Structures are given as C-alpha cells and as structure tokens.
Chain A
C-alpha cells in the first residue's frame, strides 16, 4: 500500500500562475521528499524536508510540512510551460531507510 496520497490527481493552470499540490501520509516519518517526472522519464529529486522542519525553499519551489496533520504541500510560483510534469511526494518512515511514493499529481501549464 502507498503511504502518500496526493491531491489533486491532475492540475491545469495558465503560465505565470502558482501551482499547489498536496500530499498526505499515514505514519511517522524522518523526511518527505518531492520528485518530478517528465513524461515517461526517470524521476528527478526536487527538495527534501525533514520532520523537524516546517518550511523549505528552493528557487521557485516552496515546501511546507505539518507533521501534526501528516501533510505536506508543494508550491511552484510563477509557473512556466517547462514545469509541465508529474510531481510525486515520497516519505521515508522512521527507521525504514526506504521511500514510499504517492500516486502523483499531473501538472499541465498552458501557455
């Protein structure tokens, strides 16, 4: 069974708008990671947030983590057509030393 549940499953916005994706999980974690996948290609790591962190930034990406609600969000600001991809959250459980992936959010940026 998958740990992460992502919402929405698909998101379509106009270029320049902000995109927000959410991830919920079930058990205690060491960290939560976000990955990006362009169509049919390998995943690329975007950002890692540890369980004792609440917010993290990387360029146009902002990730938040609320361990009390077991949820995280990924915000992409000022979206570009090149941001079109699927985005996955993955959790590393306490003591697990491996990742469990959610089903992903398919993001489409319309020019």
Chain B
C-alpha cells in the first residue's frame, strides 16, 4: 500500500461548491503539507502542519482551509470553489527533522467549471 494516499484522485465540481480533499499517511510523520501545481509551474505551498495542533499558512492560502484531524490525516477544503482553483493538488509528509526529504501523494486533479 502507498505510504501517502489522496482522495479523490480526480474531481470535477462547479463554481461555488464546497469541496474537501483528503490526505492520509502511514509513515508516522508529524509534518504534512498541501501544495498546488499549475501547468508548467512548480509546486506552491498552500498550508502546512508540523503537528496536530500546529497549522500554518503557506504562500497561497487565500480561498483554502485545512484540518489536521490526526497525525495521519490532513484535509484541504475549498469553501467556495472558483475556476482558477483548477489545478493538481499534492499532499506531502516529512519527519520532524530539519533537512529531510518530503514524501508525496499521487495527487488530486481538480477541475472547477
């Protein structure tokens, strides 16, 4: 089984709808991250969490919210989806040590019409 899983893998939704993307990990890592990737661009950080009680905004948090339900689960919500939130969304995890790699989920392709 994959260490970092994301659901759903693909989602089409309409403008104004609320949508939640979920991420689960079995690596036992404290740190979790949400990124978005737009075509031809690198990843931009939306939110990150260093433990269950620690949530931080990233570079592009406007229009998004997150919930860290447990060490293993980190959800990203779009309260009212808009077309420019159409993107590929990735969850990642890392150990609580500075200078370590991140482990990525397979991604969720979200289309807002």
Footprint of B on A, CB under 8 Å? 1-2, 4, 30-31, 33, 35, 40-45, 48, 50, 88, 90, 92, 97-104
Contacts and interface: CB of A to CB of B under 8 A. Distances in A.
B19 to A, nearest CB: 20
5 contacts: A43-B43, A88-B42, A88-B43, A98-B33, A101-B44
B23 to A, nearest CB: 11
Q: 10 closest A-B pairs (Cβ-Cβ)? A: A42-B104, A101-B42, A45-B101, A101-B43, A43-B104, A103-B42, A42-B106, A31-B99, A102-B42, A104-B42
B76 to A, nearest CB: 15
A98 B61 CA distance: 15
A97 B102 CA distance: 11
Contacts of B104: 35, 42-44
Contact of A50 (B41, B92, B99): B99
A44 B48 CA distance: 19
Nearest to B40: A103
Given A97-B98, A98-B33, A42 B42 contact: no
Contacts of A97: 50, 98
A4 B42 contact: yes
A43 B99 contact: no
A41 B12 CA distance: 18
Contacts of A100: 45
A85 to B, nearest CB: 13
Contacts of A40: 88, 107, 109
A43 to B, nearest CB: 5
Contacts of A42: 4, 90, 104-107
Given A42-B106, A98-B48, A48 B101 contact: yes
A92 B94 CA distance: 13
